[in-house]
Structures are given as structure tokens and as C-alpha cells.
Amino acid sequence: MRERDMAVRVKGGMLGGAGTVALLWAAQVRPSARLDALFATAAHLSGLLAGYGVLVLLFLMARVPAVEHGVGAARLARWHALGGRHVLLLCFGHALFALCGYAVHEGVDVLSAVRELLGYPALAAAAIGTVLLVAVGITSARSVRSRVSHETWRGVHLLVYLAAALAFGHQLAGPDLALVAWFWALAHAVVAVLLLWYRAVVPVRQALRHALRVAEVRVEGPGVVSVLVYGEHLAELRAEPGQFLRWRFLQRRLWHTALPFSLSAPVRGNTLRITVKALGGHSRRIRRLRPGTRVLATGPFGALTAARRTRTKVLLIAGGVGITPMRALFETLPGGPGDITLLYRAGAEEHLVLRSELEAIAAERQAGLHYLLGPSGAAFDPLAPQALAALVPGLAEHDVYLCGPRGMADATMAALVRVGVPVGRIHAECFGL
């Protein structure tokens, strides 16, 4: 199934679920013109949609392979971020409508309504859950996310599970759940099973099956290392060039966090390779990995694979350490002389990673290889529409694979569209989301 088709189906399923929630709400509505009843009705709908939204967020975090492969990690991350904002707005709306409805019904002010409602255990639990969701939202804001470590962000993000549990208790305590109990119980059970299976059972099963260990750590350049990992039965992983796994190294100060790193070379026999740039505390510690360290790797994930290709001509565009999946694709994508071209954007020549390998591949395959060097804020942008069109003749007839920092990726996608490349032929993954 093509990436866009799968994305449409998944999005349609999520919107269909929201529609089902709205229909179940509508089936229970008792029309009334009283102000307190109107507030209560609005609180009911916004609360149900907020609860359903939390389920959707958890589903997007479940790492279901069919969804990860079919939709792509970058698009899932965007959906998750957008969904989180909508859930917070619905939670605030639900609380405001409920407070106003209670205040009107009891004839008290809003502050008195807050004090009285927090006296109910289920409502107090829901309030705590909302505060936890707000904390997650704050740390996920782009301006904040760039200033906190991945470990801190991930730890706060896991509070979503607790928030969902507290909210579920509030929903069960409500008087309006009788007609939707079956739907709510089934939806929560399905999501819980998916989370448990793909985030707990599958990683343990893969660890036991593949017995991964660090074989070697190689310095590739300033702040960049490649980690070679050996294991057993690696063909069963079905890891394709362009994909990534989530890696957990069982060594002090590393074991508690799993980070996504793309394969920087095709799987060869019993060896996997990733190439890591020191962008944070966790990635900096990877250079001190000891040979023999046990590794847990979950995946593969990502839709940046040869299966997305629709044209003979292919352009690969990499920004910074985004070269890692592009290097694997550069070697393995089928094509004759001149069919494959790689553009590698970097701040300076010393920042080029895996350069000797790229040049050897280009020479062997008679493929195009261009280094686009210079600071990102320079007056001349080598990834501007006119520059791209001049550098790659017939660009509009190419499939384009793109990986790099979010800002660079977004700007490059816009440039590609301007020179005539259809959105459906731009296959992108971003890091630093």
C-alpha cells in the first residue's frame, strides 16, 4: 500500500472514530433550552471527544508496524503534536463548560463551583490528569523542547499514560456513560493491548531472538561515530535501507533511554550499523560504548524505503546527520548510470560524514553526488527552487527522498513543490521534531 493511501486510511479511521463518539453523544442528548443544560451538554461532548483524543494519542504512540511503515514516522509525529493541542483545548473546554453548568445550576460563582467539584474524588483525579497533560504539552512546545534533554522530555511524556488512567476513572464515574460503555471499554482495551504488545512484549521477544551486542565503535568525524552491532537471525528483522530502529544500550547512563537511529548501511550478514552525531547527552555517551554491551533494538520503523519509489529517476537529499538513511539508499536503490543523485547539505567540508563511502558508491554506480556546503543563514541557499532546478535537470520527473532537520526539510519540501515535484513523490523524514 502506498504511503499516501495508508495515511488516508488511518486518518479516516481516526476521524470516523470521532464521528462515532459524536453520534453516541447525540443519541443521549435530551434537548433543553435551560442554560445549565446547554452547558452540561457541551461539557459532555467536549469531554467524550477529549477522552477519545487521548486514546488516539496513545494509539499513535503504540508503534504498530503497519501504521509506522505505511504512514511514516514524520507524519505520525506531526499528527501526534497536532492531536495533543486539540486534546488540551477539548479538556479546557470540557472543564469550563462543566464549571459554568454547575455554577448556573447551583446558583454559585465559578470559584465556589471549583471548590465544590474538586471535593469529588473522580473529578479531582480528572483535574490532576489535565494538569499532567498540560505539563506534557508545555515540554512538547517547540520553543521548550529544544531546551530540555530528550530524557527529560521522554519522562514527562510518559505521564500521558497516567493522565489517561485518571481520565478514564472520571469517565466511568460519570452518569452519562451507560449507552457508550461498550464502545469505551472496547476502545480502551484495544489500545491497551496494542501498547502492551508492541512496546513491551515485542521488544523483549526481539531481544531474546536476536541477542544483539555492540561489536565496534568507529570514529567517523568530529562528534560522529558509527556503532556496529552484531546479532543472530537478523534477516528476520526485515530491516530495509532508509528505516530506523529504536536503540537501547544496556550500559550505565544509557540503558534507561531508547533513541531512534537510522541504519547507515544495509544489513550485512549478522551486522547492523548506525551512525550517530553527538546532539545531546545521550548521543554523546554512545561514543564510550564498550564492545560486548547488550543492545535492545525495536523495529524497524519508517516509510523511507525503496517501496515508495514510483519513477526511474531518484533524487536523495540529506541535511546534516540525515545522511545516514540516504547513504544506505544511495547504495541499494536499483538504477543505472545517472538514475540516482544525492545532494548532501552540510555547514562545512569537515562536517561531511561517511564521505569516502559516498564517493566510492557514486563512482561504482555512476551516480550523481553533490556537496552543498555553507552556513544555513547564508545569502545563497543551494536548496532554493532555482538552485535545485539548475542542479538536477528534469527534477519534476524524479522521486525525491529527503531527510534532515525539520526546518531544512520543510523549506526543501516547499522548494520542491515550487519546481513541480508532486507532493506524493516527496518522501520525507525529519529529526529533531
317 touches 412 (CB < 8 A): yes
Cis omega before residue 222 (within 30°)? no
CATH code: domain 306-431 is 3.40.50.80
- Please, which residues bridge with residue 314 across strands? 340, 399
Question: Maximum Cα–Cα distance for the chain, whole Å?
Answer: 81
Grid coordinates of 113: 463551583
Instruction: Give dist(CA 242, CA 328) in Å, integer.
Output: 6
Query: Strand 271-277 to strand 224-230: parallel, antiparallel, or no bridges (unpaired)?
Result: antiparallel
Say which CATH architecture domain 211-301 belongs to: Beta Barrel (2.40)
CA distance 46 to 48: 6
Strand partners, 344: 318, 371
- pLDDT of 433: 46
Phi then psi dihedrals of residue 376, to 5 deg: -65, -25
Cα–Cα distances (Å) from 11 to 4, 25, 87, 169, in that order, read 10, 21, 16, 27
Tell me the angle at which helices 150-157 and 121-140 cross, rounded to the nearest 10 degrees.
150
Spatial strand order of the sheet with 259-262 comes to: 259-262, 244-249, 295-301
Query: pLDDT tens for residues 359-404?
Result: 999 999 999 999 988 877 666 788 888 888 888 888 888 999 998 8
Write down the pTM of the prediction: 0.74
Q: Reduced to 3 states, what is the DSSP secondary structure of residue 211? A: coil
Where do we find the cell 523511507?
A: 304
* Residue 298, amino acid: T
Per residue in 245-297, pLDDT tens? 888 888 887 777 778 888 999 998 899 999 988 666 566 677 788 899 998 88
The whole-number pLDDT of residue 254 equals: 74
- Please tell me the distance from the alpha carbon of residue 166 to that of residue 131, in angstroms, as a whole number: 11
pLDDT in tens, 112-161: 877 777 777 777 777 888 888 888 778 777 777 667 666 677 777 777 78
pLDDT tens-digit map of 32-63: 778 878 888 888 888 888 888 888 888 888 88
> Any idea what the Cα angle at residue 323 is, between residues 321 and 328, rounded to 5°?
135
Domain boundaries, the chain: 3-204, 211-301, 306-431
At 55, give phi and psi (nearest 5°).
Answer: -60, -40
Calpha distance 126→433 (Å, rounded): 29
| pLDDT for residue 328 is more than 90 | yes
